[in-house]
Amino acid sequence: MAISGLCLSAFAQKVKFTEYDMDNGLHVILHQDKTAPVVAVSVMYHVGSKDEEEQRTGFAHFFEHLLFEGSDNMKRGDFMKIVSSNGGENNANTSQDRTFYYEVFPSNQLELGLWLESERMLHPKIDEAGVKTQNEVVKEEKRLRIDNSPYGKFTEKIFARLFEGHPYRWQPIGSMAHLDAAKLSEFIAFFKKYYVPNNAVLSIAGDIDVDQTKALVKKYFEEVPKGAPVVRPVYELKPITKEIIDTAYDANIQIPAIFAAYRVPGMKSRDAKVLGMISSLLSGGGSSRLSMKMVDEKKTALQVAAFNYSLEDYGAYITLALPNNNTPLNDLLKDIDAEVTRLQTDLISESELTKLQNQFENSYVSANSKMIGLAENLADGYTFHNKDTNDINEELEKVRSITREEIRDVARKYLNKDQRIVLYYLPKK
Amino acid sequence: MKKIFIFAIATLFVQSVVAQKLDRSQRPKPGPAPVLTFADPVVYKLSNGITVLVVENHKLPKVSATYSIDAGPITEGAKTGVLSLLGGLMNEGTTTKTKIQFDEAVDQLGADVNVSSRGGSASALTRYFDSAFLLMADALRHPSFPESSFEKLKSQSLTGLKSSERSAKAISGRVVNALAYGVNHPSGEFETEQSINSITLNDVKAAYAKYITPSRGYLTFVGDIKPEAAKALAIKALGDWKGTVLTFPVLTKVQNPAKTEVDVVNVPNAVQSEITVTNLIDLPLNSPDYHAVLLANEILGGGADAKLFRNLREKHGFTYGAYSSNGSGRFQALFKANAAVRNEKVDSAVVEFLHEINVMRTEKVSNDDLQNAKNLYNGSFALGLENPARTAGFASNILINNLPKDFYRTYLQKINAVTADDILRVSKKYFGYDNARVVIVGNQDQFVPGLKKRGFVIKTYDKYAAPVTTTVPEAVKN
């Protein structure tokens, strides 16, 4: 069951790990690194906003808050106190696809980390008092991150149109009315359905002894009962065949912005990696095509960006620009479109390809420099790349194998005007 | 045989752990505390005055370097924004490379190279690091200051100012400093349309000649590099660099308000108000109070287990997060407690903020709270060692702040020696209650009446910290 020592080449950044399944279905990943007396303990639950009912949006993220409320053996509010009073840090975050909880401790507190996460998985406190408080807190989070934040609403606007027919059409923060209406029994049911060991990955990285850690994992997680298998619906979206134009108004801004967004394949596809390279080519660094042309030469843009908002089932490829000197938004869009057309017509140069590869390698090396980042990247590989934890070690080779022709062809396939949403994002008077 | 025996014991141990029913109500005890070790960086001085620090760490095939010029706070006055324009312009090409050629050279390496009015940084894969470092040095030493780039950056600055005009958060960031330090202080002044428009290219060139120099410079290498190689590279790139000798500024002390006041800036579009309770403090790193203040702040508002968070978020649900922080260093700094709170709960939140600060100043903290805060600091110190740049930071802090050589080696010892009496004493001294400012930036119609009802006297300011002389309009009252 265990696969260890996947050190296949001389690359300094080759990540070694051990992985196995427990009888209750919990997948465990262990990575040893003794350079600092630190251990990261994390659990990735494969549940996000796309698993929510249409009338109960925001549940997955709400849980991320609720599961800090304590357990059968922890009073309300003690979770964070126990972590910080033992010298650790903790947090959690929720996306459309997964919810990720972690603690980082001095390495002599590994066992405490395992106790905390197993308490959370086995019998967390889900009661009216916790629901009521976290309901207010989540509303404040929405005000802070979205309602009061300049340009905070663009994903909501774009995703609503781009992913019609898919739960990606709503945002992880969800609807406050839905959360207000939810009954305690619904929260408990959500927990029983998704917070089961067979839908989770326990990923531990740092200053550990692997055999001892395996024994401790067994000690704390063995009694967590296996749940029913989680079955996810498969969504087949109708292709977008005509350009959709939309407008958003934001009271927090003075400078408008223009967005164009295209629906693209999900994160495990090779095309998603190609799109990542296209992002670097268009807006990664001062010499990227859009920055050079629009920010430096024509000086029409204050900022330009192109990025792949990559998710499990699909992705949103988004380009955006903020005008400088009152340049009309349509002029900006025209300039971005011209660069996309160029990408679809001409091959990029060999030296541009080398540049993209170097940029990727640089960010790849940095992404695995801290234990918590490494624990998450390993869990990501297992959760989202066909249970291939070793994806972390294959990624660089995959990116290096992308050809100039592939870059052109992917641009041709997905970045077309009749497949996109154009969003005019304007100041609210 | 021996090996097999050891294996059997290990197996027995594992089984005995799982055979007995686990008592989950017993929290596991920590293992023996890990020994914290950190090596001092290699330090040497170049003949032009630059101090070089090298932290060798070969874990990842990457090196980073930062150059920082310890010029202290610089007063820009009517030309506020000139340093930020200077920083921008230093990234717009050198005497031998246009901006496009320069950016192309950096991106081709997949590297990150940036320079600013305070120094610069370069990081790259080991095999490209030398080239990246030389590019940083070129940008520091030979900027070309093209006129067209100057105009571009100026227009971008103006647009940028406009872009944050309605952001309560951005306005609060500006106004809090301006009110606390005064608008003529280097930490209180801010860019305006007028100040940006008044800046000429010659102003930028003059600032370059004055502030970009090897004088008081600290060059730190961290990563996959040998000290000898780093030294050779530093000499090659910066060894013959000459520049102005910097004198460290001396600033006049600023007073806190004689009586606690509530300063309001109206941002009608805001759905949350930014609340900041603040006062100026003097806390050099070698102050005998330093470690006690860190712990006092931790207990009050350092994180999710501190009093402010527990009260304002977990008990009342007023905010997503409430925290406090204390500045420190060679100049006056701010103690701040802040949160973004929904407009209609601002008055209640202000009361809770002041209440928690007052409790810190009048009641001894419990032994548990103090021990927990100490544990957190001990843990954070260990966690920080994951970042190899941390030890370089220790060394340069010791040099810059003129600290004893063992400052970081005895750091935890001093943290652990702080008593509850120390906490009470420093809370009284550093956390303002009678002479603080409560700065609130948000939709005033929704909280000014409530604050008045609670007896607070309100001063109103505009988005640029100028007093608003007209009284609050009738409609807002009660």
Q: How far apart are CA B147 and CA B168, in angstroms?
A: 34
Per-residue pLDDT reduced to its tens digit, A288-308: 999 999 999 999 999 999 999
Test B340 with A144 for CB contact under 8 angstroms: yes
With H, G, I as helix, E, B as strand and everything else as coil, classify residue A98: coil
Using an 8 Å CB-CB cutoff, list chain B residues near A73.
24-25, 27
Tokens describing residue A135:
């309901």
Cα-based angle B103, B104, B110 (whole degrees, multiple of 5):
90
The mean pLDDT of B121-149, rounded to a whole number, is 97
| pLDDT of the residue at A13 | 66
| pLDDT of the residue at A368 | 85
Which contacts qualify for B410-413: CB closer than 8 Å, 24 or more apart? Answer: B411/B291, B411/B381, B412/B36, B412/B377, B412/B378, B412/B381
Q: How far apart are CA A291 and CA A283, in angstroms?
A: 6
Percent of chain B at pLDDT > 90 equals: 84
Nearest to B30 among A112, A147, A323 (CB): A112
The counts of H helices and E strands in chain B are 17, 12
Question: Rg of chain A's alpha carbons, rounded to an integer?
Answer: 23
Q: How far apart are CA A261 and CA A238, in angstroms?
A: 16
Per-residue pLDDT reduced to its tens digit, B414-424: 999 999 999 99
Tokens describing residue A195:
């917070």
Which DSSP symbol is given to B463?
A: T
Test B386 with A86 for CB contact under 8 angstroms: no
| pLDDT of the residue at B9 | 35
Q: How far apart are CA B416 and CA B438, in angstroms?
A: 33
Q: How far apart are CA B459 and CA B263, in angstroms?
A: 5
Is A253 part of the contact surface with chain B (CB cutoff 8 Å)? yes
| pLDDT of the residue at A306 | 97
Q: Please tell me which residue of chain B has the smallest CA distance to A40.
A: B383
Indicate if the pLDDT at residue A365 is higher than 50. Answer: yes
Phi, psi of B62 (to 5 degrees): -150, 145
State which amino acid sits at residue B41.
P
| pLDDT of the residue at A6 | 34
Interface test with B, best of A136, A282, A325 (most B CBs within 10 A): A136
Q: Are B73 and B331 contacting, i.e. CB atoms less than 8 angstroms apart? A: yes
Per-residue pLDDT reduced to its tens digit, B446-469: 999 999 999 999 999 999 999 997
Q: Which distant-in-sequence residues (6+ apart) come within 8 Å of B254 by Cβ?
A: B180, B181, B182, B185, B280, B332
Task: Catalogue the E-assigned strands of A97-230.
Answer: 99-106, 200-206
B-proximal residues of A, 83-142, CB under 8 Å: 83-89, 104-112, 114-115, 119, 122, 133, 135-137, 139-141
A-proximal residues of B, 408-447, CB under 8 Å: none
- Residue B250 burial by Cβ neighbours in a 10 Å radius (0-12, 13-18, 19+): exposed
Q: Which of A295-299, B137-141, B163-167, B199-203 has the lowest mean pLDDT?
A: B163-167
How many CB atoms lie under 10 A from the CB of residue A108? 20
Q: Are A272 and A312 contacting, i.e. CB atoms less than 8 angstroms apart? A: no
Test B61 with A136 for CB contact under 8 angstroms: no
Test A284 with B107 for CB contact under 8 angstroms: yes
Phi, psi of B271 (to 5 degrees): -95, -15
Element containing residue B381 per DSSP (H, E): helix B367-384
ipTM of the complex: 0.86
State which amino acid sits at residue B86.
L
Distance spanning both ends of chain A, measured CA to CA: 62
> Tokens 């080696």 identify what position?
B409
Is A293 part of the contact surface with chain B (CB cutoff 8 Å)? no
Per-residue pLDDT reduced to its tens digit, B222-280: 999 999 999 999 999 999 999 999 999 999 999 999 999 999 999 998 989 999 999 99
Q: What is the mean pLDDT of chain A?
A: 93
A-proximal residues of B, 91-130, CB under 8 Å: 91, 99-100, 102-104, 106-112, 123-125, 128
Q: Which distant-in-sequence residues (6+ apart) come within 8 Å of B84 by Cβ?
A: B117, B157, B191
Strand-pair category, B119-125 with B112-116: antiparallel
Q: What is the mean pLDDT of chain B?
A: 92
Q: How far apart are CA A384 and CA A406, in angstroms?
A: 23
Angle between helices B420-430 and B346-362 (to 10 degrees): 130
SS (H, E, C) B120-148: EEEEEEHHHHHHHHHHHHHHHHCECCCHH
A-proximal residues of B, 48-77, CB under 8 Å: 58-62
Q: How far apart are CA A283 and CA A306, in angstroms?
A: 6
| pLDDT of the residue at A272 | 97
Indicate the pTM of the whole model. Answer: 0.88
With H, G, I as helix, E, B as strand and everything else as coil, classify residue A53: coil
Per-residue pLDDT reduced to its tens digit, B327-355: 999 999 999 999 999 999 999 999 999 99
Q: How far apart are CA A413 and CA A41, in angstroms?
A: 41
Tokens describing residue A5:
């020592």
> Tokens 């994160």 identify what position?
A267
Using an 8 Å CB-CB cutoff, list chain B residues near A144.
272, 320, 340
Test A143 with B13 for CB contact under 8 angstroms: no
In angstroms, the separation between the Cα of residue B85 and the nearest Cα of chain A is 15
SS (H, E, C) A327-366: CCHHHHHHHHHHHHHHHHHCCCCHHHHHHHHHHHHHHHHH
pLDDT confidence band for B59 (50 / 70 / 90): confident
Identify any residues that bridge with B406 across adjacent strands, giving them in sequence order: none
pLDDT confidence band for B158 (50 / 70 / 90): very high
What region does B317 belong to: left with phi over 0, alpha with psi -120 to 50, or beta? left
With H, G, I as helix, E, B as strand and everything else as coil, classify residue A285: coil
Is A23 part of the contact surface with chain B (CB cutoff 8 Å)? no
> Which of A215, A19, A26 lies closest to A120 in space, CA to CA?
A26
Per-residue pLDDT reduced to its tens digit, A228-239: 999 999 999 999
Per-residue pLDDT reduced to its tens digit, A111-152: 999 999 999 999 999 999 889 988 888 888 888 888 878 898
Nearest to B107 among A114, A251, A285 (CB): A285
Q: How far apart are CA A125 and CA B262, in angstroms?
A: 40
pLDDT confidence band for B391 (50 / 70 / 90): confident
Q: How far apart are CA A76 and CA A71, in angstroms?
A: 8
State which amino acid sits at residue A103.
E
| pLDDT of the residue at A12 | 45
Nearest to B342 among A35, A107, A140 (CB): A140
Largest CA distance in chain A: 64
A-proximal residues of B, 258-277, CB under 8 Å: 269-272
Indicate if the pLDDT at residue B32 is higher than 80. Answer: yes
Q: Please tell me which residue of chain B has the smallest CA distance to A152.
A: B167
| pLDDT of the residue at A358 | 95
> Which of B387, B348, B243, B360 lies closest to B293 in space, CA to CA?
B360
Q: How far apart are CA A17 and CA B64, in angstroms?
A: 27
Which ranges of A195-256 does DSSP label H, i.e. alpha helix? Answer: 210-221
Identify any residues that bridge with A421 across adjacent strands, giving them in sequence order: A244, A261
| pLDDT of the residue at A150 | 85
Identify any residues that bridge with B119 across adjacent strands, giving them in sequence order: B68, B116
Interface test with A, best of B24, B56, B90, B136 (most A CBs within 10 A): B24
The mean pLDDT of B60-74, rounded to a whole number, is 96
Per-residue pLDDT reduced to its tens digit, A191-225: 999 999 999 999 999 999 999 999 999 999 999 99
> Which of B342, B301, B338, B351 lies closest to B318 in space, CA to CA?
B342
> Which of B99, B122, B104 lies closest to A287 in space, CA to CA?
B104
| pLDDT of the residue at B470 | 61
| pLDDT of the residue at B7 | 36
Q: Give A385's Cβ-side CA count (13 Å radius).
A: 21
